[in-house]
Structure 1
Amino acid sequence: MIIDAVDVRRRYGETVALDGVSFSVDEGKIFALIGPNGAGKTTLVRALSGTTDAEGTVSVFGQSPADVARDRIGLLPQEFTPAGRLTAKELVEYYAGLYDESRDPEAVLDDVGLTDSADTFYENLSGGQKRRVCVGTALVNDPALLMLDEPTTGIDPTGRRDLWRLIEGLADGGTTVVLTTHYMEEAEELADHVGLLADGELVALGSPSELIGRYGGESRLLIEPEDGDAAVEALTDAGYEIISEDRRVAVPADATDIPSIVETLADAGVVYEGLTWRQPTLEDVYIELTGTDAASADGMTTEGWA
């Protein structure tokens, strides 16, 4: 076990940042913390890395986080602004020089997709490129434990998936990864286990598939009919349950149910503009447990992509 956290608590004055959080992470696993800004994700990462005090027990490599050798941990804070007048390569080289042993900076830049921008000043990089450089600085010491606080914020979808593959490869090689995110797809794609944080509390813990199976609800077919009343009547008469009757009529359905539902609508002469089959996701789980959409709570946009 690489991380063992038991009843971790942290207050800032009257504000409760962490309220009795407990979990563990095994070697080579990816653990994702999900939640909106203010949920406690960053405070928990700081407690795990020894950069803030917390009540309860936190063990990293069997030690107090403050006692762990710094070269065993790679940390990317959510807010990190390196020197703007250094190039991407110079920045990675600088952080490599802080350790007795480190990876080749050029190989790190290649890993994060910045070989072609290696000689560009940090201040002239796009938002997404800057974030990639920052990820590179956390990788340069080849850490056994990598902590990434919102690593793909501001990165375009293609670049985000490239970093996902990099993180998966590190875990396959034995690196333990803890990341925070409010991209539900990111956690669902990457994580072996997920912790859902809300108002400082860990409201659920498990693998993405376990949490979706337990809290996500049923798969459903979403129908956009021209005449909603006619669609509801036809489906109800055929014995189908109707979940919602707003702009789209929702019916619980497995993939194998779709042909019979389509046939029911056709037999009743119901015309529709679209059909969408939707499986439950971690977003559904989070909303079910907290009543809050983690992405919307952060006001996420795609601005700053690069």
Structure 2
Amino acid sequence: MTTAVRVRGLTKRYGDVQAVGGIDLDIRTGEVFAILGPNGAGKSTTVEILEGYRSRDSGEVSVLGVDPGTPTREWRSRIGVVLQTANDVAEATVRETVRHFARYYPRAEDPDEVIERVGLTEKADKRIRQLSGGQRRRVDVALGVIGAPELLFLDEPTTGFDPEARRRFWELIRSLALRGTTIVLTTHYLDEAEALASRVSVVAGGRVVAEGEPATLGGRASAKARVSWSDGGERRTLETETPTRTVLELTHRFDGEVPELTVTRPSLEEVYLQLVEAPA
């Protein structure tokens, strides 16, 4: 499997503040890779360096085989970017805006098809200023994918989306991944990372503190399970490494159905909070 993004020893300082303190990353071609971390952790600085918008102090960076510190026009045509905040042309319509940006790319998608995929067909002839915040965010996504990018950066892409719009966006991302697009996602929605990403990297204090599949991150798959049930009106919980045996014992005790039985392992959110709150 080829590598779309390779980072070794990346550092960046702002005066006395060390924003990025030696990050290593390997992002495979065609995967959805999520970078998670609290505000100020260094993830946005890292992504901006990968996009070619910010210089680094030291380290080796390769994005689609090119150093983003010396980007070319051809390289920029191969990537798509959805920034956390964007300035749009308020008086232009959705269709005018997407068609305009399509002209910048040699292999652009059909603007009307992209507008449909982000759920804005009914708003295509509306001026941008007439859209809600969530609808404007969908325009940002449309502009990010209009160039049929090989690599797509998404920085908090579903901020302002309602639940239905978020689910529709997830389907769009899955369809892009099936077509071979590499996607780098930063998000504060852990359910979004779990639903979309094949691997995640957790950044805290300017360093990677954990990396892996969402289901196994931080030892999640091998952590003790919590078995909970109702007993005489009281809720009881047992942490165990053998949940199947515990459930079997409870089944015998209750002679069949165990009242309000649940079996869970630590959620991605619980593991994430432990990782970012751990002392350096």
TM-score normalized by the length of structure 2: 0.87
Identity %: 40
CA distance in 2, matches of 1:40, 1:215: 27
CA distance in 2, matches of 1:9, 1:45: 12
Answer yes or no: is the 8 Å Cα contact 1:28–1:174 preserved in 2.
Answer: yes
CA deviation after TM superposition for structure 1 residue 172, in Å: 1.4
Question: Could you tell me which residue of structure 1 aligns to residue 273 of structure 2?
Answer: 287
Question: Could you tell me which residue of structure 2 aligns to residue 12 of structure 1?
Answer: 14
Aligned residue for 1:208, secondary structure, equals coil
Aligned positions, number: 269
CA distance in 2, matches of 1:225, 1:291: 35
Give the aligned CA root-mean-square deviation in angstroms.
2.4
Corresponding position: 1:156 with 2:145:
no
Q: Deviations over 1:48-82 (max 9, x none)?
A: 01110112111112211132421101011111121
CA distance in 2, matches of 1:146, 1:221: 41
CA deviation after TM superposition for structure 1 residue 219, in Å: 2.4
Question: Could you tell me which residue of structure 2 aligns to residue 258 of structure 1?
Answer: 247
In structure 2, the CA distance between the partners of 1:88 and 1:250, relative to structure 1 (3 Å rule), is farther
Question: Could you tell me which residue of structure 2 aligns to residue 217 of structure 1?
Answer: 223
CA distance in 1, matches of 2:124, 2:18: 42
CA distance in 2, matches of 1:199, 1:30: 23
In structure 2, the CA distance between the partners of 1:70 and 1:250, relative to structure 1 (3 Å rule), is same
CA distance in 1, matches of 2:215, 2:185: 18
Q: What pairs up with 1:111-150 in 2 under 5 angstroms?
A: 111-150=117-156
Q: What pairs up with 1:169-248 in 2 under 5 angstroms?
A: 169-211=175-217, 213-214=219-220, 217-223=223-229
Question: Could you tell me which residue of structure 2 aligns to residue 44 of structure 1?
Answer: 46
Corresponding position: 1:67 with 2:71:
yes
TM-score normalized by the length of structure 1: 0.80
Corresponding position: 1:103 with 2:109:
yes
In structure 2, the CA distance between the partners of 1:219 and 1:159, relative to structure 1 (3 Å rule), is farther
CA deviation after TM superposition for structure 1 residue 83, in Å: 1.5
CA distance in 1, matches of 2:188, 2:244: 29
CA deviation after TM superposition for structure 1 residue 44, in Å: 0.9
CA distance in 1, matches of 2:249, 2:225: 16
Counterpart amino acid of 2:275?
L
In structure 2, the CA distance between the partners of 1:226 and 1:16, relative to structure 1 (3 Å rule), is farther
Out of 16, 34, 37, the residue aligned to residue 36 of structure 2 is: 34
CA distance in 2, matches of 1:32, 1:167: 12
Aligned residue for 1:4, secondary structure, equals strand
Q: Deviations over 1:206-256 (max 9, x none)?
A: 12223154577222123466765xx6xxxxxxxxxxxxxxxx634436367
Structure 2 residue ranges without an equivalent (≥5): none
CA deviation after TM superposition for structure 1 residue 198, in Å: 1.1
Question: Could you tell me which residue of structure 2 aligns to residue 236 of structure 1?
Answer: none
Question: Could you tell me which residue of structure 2 aligns to residue 249 of structure 1?
Answer: 237
Q: Deviations over 1:249-284 (max 9, x none)?
A: 3443636743643654x58xxx97x54432322212
Answer yes or no: is the 8 Å Cα contact 1:212–1:281 preserved in 2.
Answer: no
In structure 2, the CA distance between the partners of 1:258 and 1:121, relative to structure 1 (3 Å rule), is farther
24-33 or 201-210, which moves further after superposition? 201-210
